[in-house]
Structure 1
Amino acid sequence: MMTDEELMQKLEELTKEAQHHQLETLRSILLHNGTVRYLQSFEGPLHPSTFRRVVPLSSYQDYVDFINHMAEGKDDPFLSVDPLRCFFYSSGTSSSTMKPKLIPYFDSSLSKAASFIGHRGSVAVRQRLFPPKPEVNKILWFLYADNITTTKCGLKVMAASTYPLQSGNATPQQLATFSSPLEVIIGSHVEHQLYCHLLCGLRNLDLIDGITTPYAIGLIKAFGYLESKWEQLCDDLEHGFPCSEISEGAMREAVTKTLGDLIQNWQKE
């Protein structure tokens, strides 16, 4: 696995010759997926040099029928020859109806490589700009990993940010950076999860090095919720356990332990 410095060097090399790498990526995609239904609707064999002329700019609506067919379980290479693993949903903020879009996720080596560079690269860039401090190493991450639905054929639909937790690929090191315990992240009630995220984040205030959320709208909702619940949050921080509204046993117990551990640490100091 590449170190952060090696990854940063690779990103710099890629951006120096962006056009070349874009064409090579397109060439790989066309070579691998040239037989899918969507591309077959265009005349002649597609090549990177002719792609922009033959294939017009597209929007989600150009793919939605294919995506709906996949969600219904129809076994046909509509958009990719790779196996369909699940769907990710968008934030919905770009739609006039605020309805999330379904984004198919395929078990593709090309997409895995791109995702790895994208996710690891963003972390490496952030750490270069804002070097981590050993004593301040928590992230207030408004993450909701149990917000999962299924399509008619049983495929899971989730936020892309929750996939590592659902697939078991999250490392102990990653989990250790969350200000909230795992029981909050995988809870079943979004509003209660949000409350507990805020509660644990406020209790871990001196350890918080950043605040993040999968979508910008999530941060707006979190701050709005903080404005409406700050008095109750203050009471819970003072008493050392969440309010009675937090009824999910595992979540309540984990948050109470988090608050209690920190109170004990303060008392020792």
Structure 2
Amino acid sequence: MDRKILCLPTHDLSSGESFYASIDEFREKIPLTTYKDYMDYIDRMVVEGENNVLSSENPVYFSMTSGTTAKIKLLPATATTIKKLNESVALGFYIIRRSFPSSSFSSFNQRVFVLQTGIKPNMFPVSKDGIPMGPISNHSSAIGSLSRTFSSVPVNHTLSLDIIVEITDFETSAFVQLVFALVNWNIYSYRVTFASGFIHTVNIIENYFEEISLCISTYNFKYSSLVQKNISDPAFISTLNQKLHEVIVEYGGETYGLERAKHIRNECSKKKVPGILHRLWPNLMFATTAIGSTFTIYKPDIQFYCGDRLPL
């Protein structure tokens, strides 16, 4: 067996080497490490505000792990990290798209549903030198224009991030985003970053479909118990109503809203029937979420929601 390993991007090419001589050499020069090996360095960055510790490029964000399986960890992300992350997401997105005929994406008003999370920039905890800290999914709202500059995916979201960050309660935010997704029959992609969140969004649809249908048929969020409980600003609710009305008008007006609400109610009333996502959005082409590692336990449920016709 050939035990040579091609050089990684971090390998110094100035020496003239194009690969490590063997896997054993690679293991010797780059041993396995754990978070514990970096804790002191990260503390120096977060607590003391020290620069040039783990990288010559200073971090712009400290990503926090969920703490599900261990204590919360802080992972420094530089501008280059964010750029590479967005490039990786873009690459995956385009690979999936290219697996379908180009004619599948001919409609100008096609949308994608991406569950977005975010809070206002001034609500993030910060390190000693003012670098925001939060879940990796919130980095767009934390570093705003920088993240969008590096974004390589021309995504036509159902609702803009500047609206979403105004909704501080996660459940309410997800509900509102789902209403704007469900009012649109022409969704071709359904994306939630993690499998647990994916299932949670479907559960919201199942548990609140009557309220969702009423909001859509009347283009009014007064029928949402979550909105009424967790959003106190009447002007902001009015903005949500106006934007919902604009979408309904775009697709055909009041008659369309009533028909769409009826369709949602009918499909969600069918209990224990697989493929609810494809039944709600007949044009839906694929769904994406993370189902590896500890998330594999959610895969059967997600496949049930996707059904046989929707690739995951």
Same fold (TM over 0.5): yes
Task: Kindly indicate whether the alpha-carbon contact (under 8 Å) linking 1:142 and 1:212 is maintained by their aligned counterparts in 2.
Answer: yes
Q: Give 1:27's aligned amino acid.
A: H
1:262 correspondence with 2:243: no
1:77 correspondence with 2:52: yes
RMSD of aligned residue pairs (Cα, Å) = 3.4
Tell me the CA shift for residue 68 of structure 1.
Answer: 2.5
Tell me the CA shift for residue 251 of structure 1.
Answer: 4.7
CA gap of 1:173–1:238, structure 2 versus 1, over 3 A, is: farther
1:156 correspondence with 2:132: yes
CA gap of 1:195–1:116, structure 2 versus 1, over 3 A, is: closer
Task: Kindly indicate whether the alpha-carbon contact (under 8 Å) linking 1:183 and 1:254 is maintained by their aligned counterparts in 2.
Answer: no
CA gap of 1:152–1:25, structure 2 versus 1, over 3 A, is: closer
Listed one character per residue, the Cα deviations across residues 109-145 of structure 1 (whole Å, up to 9, x for unaligned) are xx46643541321122122023433245211111112
TM value normalised by structure 1: 0.70
CA gap of 1:263–1:119, structure 2 versus 1, over 3 A, is: closer
1:231 correspondence with 2:210: yes
**Hey, what does 2:237 align to over in structure 1?**
252
Task: Kindly indicate whether the alpha-carbon contact (under 8 Å) linking 2:118 and 2:140 is maintained by their aligned counterparts in 1.
Answer: no
**Hey, what does 2:261 align to over in structure 1?**
none
Q: Give 1:254's aligned amino acid.
A: T
- Which aligned pairs between 1:107-118 and structure 2 lie closer than 5 A? 107-108=79-80, 111=81, 114-115=84-85, 117-118=87-88
Task: Kindly indicate whether the alpha-carbon contact (under 8 Å) linking 2:221 and 2:237 is maintained by their aligned counterparts in 1.
Answer: yes
Question: Which of 181, 193, 204 matches 1:201?
Answer: 181
Task: Kindly indicate whether the alpha-carbon contact (under 8 Å) linking 1:179 and 1:197 is maintained by their aligned counterparts in 2.
Answer: yes
**Hey, what does 1:104 align to over in structure 2?**
76
Aligned residues: 229
**Hey, what does 1:240 align to over in structure 2?**
219
**Hey, what does 1:27 align to over in structure 2?**
11
CA gap of 1:113–1:142, structure 2 versus 1, over 3 A, is: closer
**Hey, what does 1:191 align to over in structure 2?**
171
CA gap of 1:113–1:261, structure 2 versus 1, over 3 A, is: closer
Once residues 62 and 250 of structure 1 are traced to their aligned partners in structure 2, the CA distance between those partners, rounded to angstroms, is: 50
Question: Which of 139, 146, 156 matches 1:177?
Answer: 156
Structure 1: gaps (5+ residues): 1-17, 32-46
Identity %: 18
Structure 2: gaps (5+ residues): 223-227, 257-312
Tell me the CA shift for residue 72 of structure 1.
Answer: 0.9
**Hey, what does 1:38 align to over in structure 2?**
none
1:139 correspondence with 2:139: no
Listed one character per residue, the Cα deviations across residues 139-182 of structure 1 (whole Å, up to 9, x for unaligned) are 11111121752234132013434434533143799686111233
Once residues 98 and 154 of structure 2 are traced to their aligned partners in structure 1, the CA distance between those partners, rounded to angstroms, is: 21
CA gap of 1:76–1:163, structure 2 versus 1, over 3 A, is: closer
Task: Kindly indicate whether the alpha-carbon contact (under 8 Å) linking 1:91 and 1:100 is maintained by their aligned counterparts in 2.
Answer: yes
Which stretch shows the higher mean deviation, 188-197 or 213-222?
213-222
CA gap of 1:208–1:250, structure 2 versus 1, over 3 A, is: farther
**Hey, what does 2:39 align to over in structure 1?**
64
Task: Kindly indicate whether the alpha-carbon contact (under 8 Å) linking 1:181 and 1:254 is maintained by their aligned counterparts in 2.
Answer: no
Tell me the CA shift for residue 66 of structure 1.
Answer: 2.1
Structure 1 SS opposite 2:253: helix
TM value normalised by structure 2: 0.61
